[in-house]
Amino acid sequence: MTLTADTSPGTARGTARRWRERLLSGGSWTVLALLVVVLAVIVVINPSFAEPVSLMAFAKKAAPLVVLAVGQYFVIVSGEFDLSVGSLVGAQVVIAARLIDGEEALTWPVLGLMLAFGLLVGLVNGLVTTLLRVPSFIATLGMMLVLFGAIRLWTGGAPTGALSEGFRVLGRKGFPDVPGQFQVPYALLVALVVVGLAVLVMRRPFGRSLVAAGDNDVAATYSGASVWWLRTRAFLLSSFLATVAAVLIGGYAGVTAQVGQGLEFMAITAVVLGGVALGGGRGTVVAAMVGALALEALFTLFNQLALPSTIRPAVQGVIIIVAVAYAARRRRT
Amino acid sequence: MQLLVDIGQKVPTLVVMRADDDAHTSSPDPVLRLRGVGKEFFGTSVLREIDLTLYPGQVHALVGENGAGKSTLMKIIAGVHRPDTGTIELDGPAVTFPTPLDAQRAGVATVFQEFNLLPDRSVAENVYLGREPRRRGLVDRRRLHADTTRLLDDLGLAGIASWTRVGSLSVAQQQVVEIVKAVSYDARIISMDEPTAALADQEVALLYELVRRLRDRGVAILYVSHRLQEIYDLADTITVLKDGNHVLTAPAAEVGPDRLVRTMVGRDFAGFFPDKPADAVPGEVRLALAGAGNTMVDDIDLEVRAGEIVALAGLQGSGRTEIAHGVFGIAPFTRGRMTVDGQPAQVRTPRQGVRHHLALVTEDRKSEGLALGQSVLANARLVLDAVLPRASDRRSRRIAGVLSSLEVAPSTVAAAQDTEVQYLSGGNQQKVVLAKWLVTEPRVIVLDEPTRGIDVGAKRAVYDLMRTLTADGTAVLLISSELPEVVAMADRILVVRDGRIAGELPGGSDEAAIMALATGAA
């Protein structure tokens, strides 16, 4: 939170003012307020949404975006972008389906392969950006196209094969695993673990150095940081989490030719909505998570209003511009 | 304390001698006259009561230390700044220049140190940029080149072709193009800010030639330079500024180099600096360079011992900062040897510098020293986080201790965690930079302009800290443009000129002696 000299703690008016500033600051409190408002509107329209089963269904659906947003957060806070995560999710799901092809015994070996492939993509993104000095916007845009094209080429345009039941457990099932009963989706647990670990990582020297590098990479370099390696690790984390998201999405939605499409922009929108500054140096993991939930809630609201799903990209575009403009306005003052 | 507050407002003790108009009886009427010009920035007065008179056909040199107010005065004449007090008279009546363009239209041209040229355009296109001769709405290229060629010929610059791409010219030729551009506005007054700063010695002749030619054509020239030789080669009159005050204007022939230098630096700072401990004896050699060099500096030999403060003095651009950058691995030395505590040290990156227990407080704390959007605490542990992450966790208490011993403004740990560095004053920001290095317990600390832009209280804190560090056996390499600081704080003073060490003087030396070495007058 920013420093506000004129707030007097203790008095009711001071408290009210402090909250107003928090909520309008454009940081995590603002997006949290937005999330609460959107959820409240959904409940008003459709009171059954407030029931635990519906909320859990919402969490299950939102979990992959939360995981992707956390990955994107690492990259954005270090001052870069990762546009390749959507294609990577698509590629991973298609690879998994084709290689596993319904064979339960292949689940673990293929997961290992996906992990290696994800890390390779992250490493290439990171090294091309830092060592070859290609702006990450271009480097990851290129990676996005390469992955997209390579998968088309490999599958001949239509994905084949099938995921094993074991593969789909994380994205589809929950605890306790009794049909018809209330259950906590595994996807929610995965997302919470990811967020929890990310919060811890950001409190470690690595996390602080990453934000400092995003804030001022010259100062970070002159303080002895290896900025190239910090950023490369951020890309590795992003690709790793995209792989995790691929497992959740594959389990939840199965294999289609469109899987993963547009997820990179959803993740970036979520992060920006959470008040994480583009260009780096400002914002928290929790804010990115809340941004993802708010975006997902907004889409749920559109469903409730029976708006066509084709409106989503337009809304997302407006959100991303408004959120960045709001942040810019805040920084000017 | 009273004394501290007076620093910078002290009126120099030197006799103010002004050239009256009748000292120039041979001259025609003045073309430009400044009377009582003063300027403040954010409540700090940077120029006070400046009088300056320029005559056609004369070169008027403007000299002074870094920060004396020369650039501000030039910018006032150029219409970049407007004076808060006083008047500018052009050919008699008082005028104001709301914008630089107005000054240019009135015949007052300024050649700044940074070139404003488009390297991929031709000489002609640069000279007439934005006011190209036109024919039927299109640029009349033939006339553009004809005009430029005539202008170049007039100035005896037939060696430069109007169609040459500016980027392919030498630095001296580019400087000349800047001046030609000024002349093309029919300028009657041209002020030049250190026009030779970027030039090699043999290139200076071209510029001299041009300046003399312009003078002979009746142009009034205001010439800002640090190089005494140039001033005596070119100037008819010399004006000295010091700490924003006008201290001397006299015909160049009447002011010898000794007196000029003395006038530039003389001031009274007694009592402001903490005394050297009487019994201090420097210890082992902590940092040593032998024949170190790279593309910017060469033949650097220096030693700094434990408990010693060695200053690198010199003009801006002389290579002082480059030596610091070489030591710390920002722009590593490619020649020579460096040892830290007697061990050969290969420092190719700042990271390796930190690992060798070196520290560098950079010249520009905002762009090179701090992550402004992060908290005081995060900045204070920036180096530990980056290089020694385990120590960063262990030394939390030490970090808090260093911050409180430096009396950084957010005085509690919680406040240090919540306050972003960008909201602190310059002095407090500098303390945060110092803190991030002190927590690493460096053996050699390089301070590049550590007191620039901070208030007197913070300055004093920096000086006290330097004494504490040396008492603990740290070696301090101080880079400073503030001569009083150099003289009072350093045990030894190395003067840097043109990327080399021009000489060594003991601490407490005369400021004039340093200036003489720095400018090459000695």
pLDDT tens sequence across A207-250: 999 999 999 999 999 999 999 999 999 999 999 999 999 999 99
* Model pLDDT, residue B169: 85
pLDDT tens per residue, range B271-303: 578 888 877 788 899 999 999 999 999 999 999
- Asked if residue B134 belongs to a domain, the reply is no
Choice among A253-262, B3-12, B35-44 with the minimum mean pLDDT: B3-12
B327-343 mean pLDDT: 96
pLDDT of A128 strictly over 90: yes
Out of A2, A206, A219, the one facing B389 most closely (by C-beta) is A206
Any A CB within 8 A of B67 CB: no
CB contact residues (below 8 A), chain B span 342-371, against chain A: 349-351, 353-355, 360, 362, 367-371
Window from B55-59, B177-181, B384-388 with minimum mean pLDDT:
B177-181
For the cut 90, the answer to whether the pLDDT of residue B19 exceeds it is no
Q: Which of A6, A76, A206, A223 to mutate to test the interface with B (most CBs of B within 10 A)?
A: A223
Read off the pLDDT of residues A1-24 as tens digits, 9 standing for 90 and up. 333 444 444 567 777 777 777 676
Each residue of B222-275: pLDDT tens digit? 998 877 778 888 999 999 988 888 988 989 888 887 788 778 776 544 457 888
Residue of higher predicted confidence among B8 and A319: A319
The CA distances from residue A105 to A193, A255, B281, in Å, are: 26, 19, 76
Position B40 scores a pLDDT of: 83
Q: Which of B330, B365, B374, B418 to mutate to test the interface with A (most CBs of A within 10 A)?
A: B374
pLDDT confidence bin for B43, thresholds 50/70/90? low
pLDDT above 70: residue B63: yes
A135-143 LR contacts (CB < 8 Å, sep 24+): A136/A75, A136/A80, A136/A81, A136/A82, A136/A235, A137/A81, A137/A83, A140/A81, A140/A82, A140/A83, A140/A84, A141/A83, A141/A84, A143/A83, A143/A84, A143/A87, A143/A88
Q: Are A87 and A260 in contact (CB under 8 A)?
A: yes
B33-54: average pLDDT: 86
Mean pLDDT of B101-126: 87
Give the residue-averaged pLDDT of B40-54: 83
**Do B42 and B75 reside in the same domain of the chain?**
yes
Is pLDDT above 90 for B304? yes
Residues B260 and B303 grouped into a single domain: no
Measured between beta carbons, the chain A residues lying within 8 angstroms of B423 are 3
Confidence (pLDDT) at B9: 35
Residue B22 confidence (pLDDT) above 80: no
pLDDT of residue B88: 92
Q: Are residues B16 and B50 in the same domain?
A: yes
Q: Residue ranges per domain, chain A?
A: 27-332
Q: Are B330 and A222 an interchain contact pair (Cβ–Cβ within 8 Å)?
A: yes
B202 falls in which pLDDT band (50, 70, 90)? low
Could you tell me if residue B70 is inside a domain? yes
**Token pair of B332, please?**
């590593």
In this predicted structure, what is the pLDDT of residue B337?
Answer: 96
Of B210, B244, B265, the last residue of a domain is: B265
Alpha-carbon distance B34 to B78, whole Å? 12
What pLDDT is stored for residue A124 in this prediction?
98
Tokens of B224: 């800002």
* Residue B128 domain-assigned (yes or no): no
Of B441, B467, B492, the last residue of a domain is B441
- One domain, residues B377 and B348: no
Interface contact flag, B387 A220, Cβ < 8 Å? no
In B393-412, which positions are buried (b, 16+ CB within 10 angstroms) versus exposed (e)?
eebeeebbebbeebebbbee
The pLDDT assigned to B25 comes to 46
Rounded distance between C-alpha atoms, residue A304 and residue A298, angstroms: 10
Is the domain of B200 the same as that of B110?
A: yes
B380 confidence band (pLDDT: 50, 70, 90): very high
Give the one of B351, B368, B372 whose C-beta lies nearest to A215's C-beta.
B372
- Mean pLDDT for B82-101 is 89
CB < 8 Å to A209, chain B: 382, 385-386
CA distances from A294 to A12, A34, A272, A299 (A): 29, 7, 11, 9
CA–CA gap between residue B238 and residue B251 (Å, rounded): 6
B363: which chain A residues are within 8 Å (Cβ-Cβ)?
Answer: none
A330 Cβ contact partners less than 8 Å away, ≥ 6 residues apart: A25, A26
Interface contact flag, A211 B384, Cβ < 8 Å: no
Q: Is the pLDDT of residue A332 over 80?
A: no
When pLDDT is averaged across residues A250-273 and rounded to a whole number, the result is: 90
A219 to B420: CB separation less than 8 angstroms, yes or no: no
> Across residues A100-118, what is the average pLDDT?
95
pLDDT of residue A179: 73
pLDDT reported for residue B352: 97
Mutation pick from A18, A222, A228, A233 vs chain B, by most beta carbons of B within 10 Å, is: A222
Whether B70 and B22 map to the same domain: the answer is yes
CA distance to partner chain A, nearest, from residue B294 (Å): 19
Q: Note whether B386 contacts A219, CB cutoff 8 Å.
A: no
- Residues B456, B431 share a domain: no
Chain A contact set for B389 (CB, 8 A) = 204-206
pLDDT of the residue at B145: 92
Q: Do B443 and B357 contact (CB within 8 A), yes or no? A: yes
- Phi first, then psi: give them for residue B169, nearest 5 degrees: -85, 160
Does B476 lie in the same domain as B420?
A: no
| pLDDT attached to residue A181 | 76
Any idea how long chain B is? 522
Question: Which residue in the set B349, B372, B385 is minimally distant from A205, CB to CB?
Answer: B385
Average pLDDT over residues B186-207: 80
In the listed set B237, B265, B293, which residue is the last one of a domain according to the structure?
A: B265
Closest Cα of chain B to A216: distance in Å? Answer: 5
Distance from CA of A233 to the nearest CA of B (A): 14
Instruction: State how far the Cα of A324 lies from the Cα of B487, in Å rounded to an integer.
Output: 51
List all residues 6 or more positions away from A52 whose beta carbon is below 8 Å from its beta carbon: A182
Tell me which chain B residues have a C-beta less than 8 angstroms from the C-beta of A208. 374, 378, 381-382, 385
**B373 in contact with A, Cβ within 8 Å:** yes
- Domain membership of residue B62 (yes or no) is yes
Share the mean pLDDT of chain B. 85
In a domain, B88, yes or no: yes
Q: B374, A223: Cβ pair inside 8 Å?
A: no
**B390 shares a domain with B246:** no
Looking up residue B229, the CATH number of its domain turns out to be 3.40.50.300
Within an 8 Å CB–CB cutoff, is residue A201 touching chain B? no
Q: Are residues B437 and B448 in the same domain?
A: no
Question: Would you state the structure tokens that stand for residue B276, as one six-digit string?
Answer: 């050297």
Residue A294: what pLDDT?
93
B446: β partners: B360, B477
- Nearest chain A residue to B353 by CA: give it: A224
Interface of B with A in 30-49 (CB under 8 A): none
For residue B4, the model assigns a pLDDT of: 34
Helix and strand counts by DSSP (H, E) for chain A = 14, 2
Say whether A218 and B367 touch across the interface (CB within 8 A): yes
ipTM reported for the complex, 2 dp = 0.86
Q: At the top level of CATH, which class does the domain A27-332 belong to?
A: mainly alpha
A209 to chain B, closest Cα gap in Å:
6
B2 pLDDT band (50/70/90 cuts)?
Answer: very low
Phi, psi of B408 (to 5 degrees): -65, 140
CA distance A210 to A229: 10
Taking the CA of residue B389 and the nearest CA in chain A, the distance in Å comes to 6
Of A3, A221, A223, the CB nearest to B418: A3
Based on the fold, state whether residues B89 and B173 are members of the same structural domain: yes
Asked if B326 is an interface residue toward chain A (Cβ–Cβ < 8 A), one would say no
Shortest CA distance from A225: residue in chain B:
B386
How many CB atoms are located within 10 Å of the residue A223 CB? 33
A282 CB within 8 Å of a chain B CB: yes
What residues of chain B lie within 8 A of the CB of A3, using their CB? 418-420, 423
Contact status of A225 with chain B (Cβ, < 8 Å): yes
Reported confidence tier of residue A330, pLDDT bands at 50, 70, 90: low
Distance CA B493, CA B484 (A): 12
What band does A40 get if pLDDT is binned at 50, 70 and 90?
very high
What is the domain range of residue B186?
A: 2-120+165-265
On the question of pLDDT at A131 being above 70, the answer is: yes
Residues B92 and B180 in one domain: yes
Counting the structural domains of chain B, the total is 3
What is the pLDDT, as a whole number, of residue B27?
A: 54
Domain annotation covers residue B127: no
Between B26 and B211, where is the model more confident? B211
Average pLDDT over every residue of A41-50: 93
Chain-chain contact of A205 with B384 (C-beta, under 8 angstroms)? yes
- B131 in any annotated domain: no
Structural contact between residues A161 and A97, judged by C-beta atoms closer than 8 angstroms: yes
Rounded-to-integer distance, Cα A12 and Cα A52, Å: 35
User: Given a cut of 90, is residue B375 above it in pLDDT?
Assistant: yes
